[in-house]
């Protein structure tokens, strides 16, 4: 099965070693997953998806975008996502923390 692990890893500026640390495995294991020498199980897809900040299905398919769903995303939201994906992991965590704090503040204001 062809997968997009390497492309997504490289797009996020991660080395094999860095992704391995995030996933909790070895760089050799990541290499085997990328090249198809190791079978991608649901567990691997889940762990890799979390580490690469993407839906697990994105690792093995572009189908979820080919139905026009991406075109239905407003341009400002698409820009936000593209910008977020270019951030390093620490910056992404900071953005998520900021959003969580903002959401918590919004929830208490509406009650």
What's the domain range around 45? 5-66
Q: Are 61 and 91 contained in the same domain?
A: no
Q: Are 20 and 35 contained in the same domain?
A: yes
Of 66, 82, 97, which residue is a domain's last?
Answer: 66
Q: Are 14 and 62 contained in the same domain?
A: yes
Q: What is the pLDDT of residues 22-71, one digit of tens each?
A: 999 999 999 999 999 999 999 999 999 999 998 888 898 755 444 444 45
CATH number for the domain harbouring residue 21: 1.10.260.40
DSSP codes joined into one string, 32-97: HHHHTSS---HHHHHHHHHHTTS-GGGGT-SHHHHTTTGGGS-HHHHHHHHHHHHS-HHHHHHHHH
Q: What is the pLDDT of residues 29-40, one digit of tens each?
A: 999 999 999 999
Separation of first and last alpha carbons in the chain: 49
Q: Are 62 and 13 contained in the same domain?
A: yes
* pTM score of the predicted model: 0.56
Q: Are 60 and 91 contained in the same domain?
A: no
């Amino acid at each position: 099965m062809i997968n997009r692990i390497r492309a997504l890893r490289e797009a996020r500026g991660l080395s094999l070693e860095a992704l391995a640390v995030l996933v909790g495995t070895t760089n050799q294991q990541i290499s085997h997953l990328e090249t198809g020498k190791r079978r991608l199980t649901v567990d691997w897809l889940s762990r890799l998806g979390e580490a690469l900040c993407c839906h697990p299905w994105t690792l093995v398919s572009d189908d979820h975008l080919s139905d026009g769903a991406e075109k239905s995303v407003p341009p400002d939201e698409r820009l936000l996502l593209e910008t977020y994906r270019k951030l390093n992991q620490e910056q992404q965590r900071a953005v998520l923390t900021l959003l969580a704090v903002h959401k918590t503040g919004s929830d208490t204001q509406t009650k």
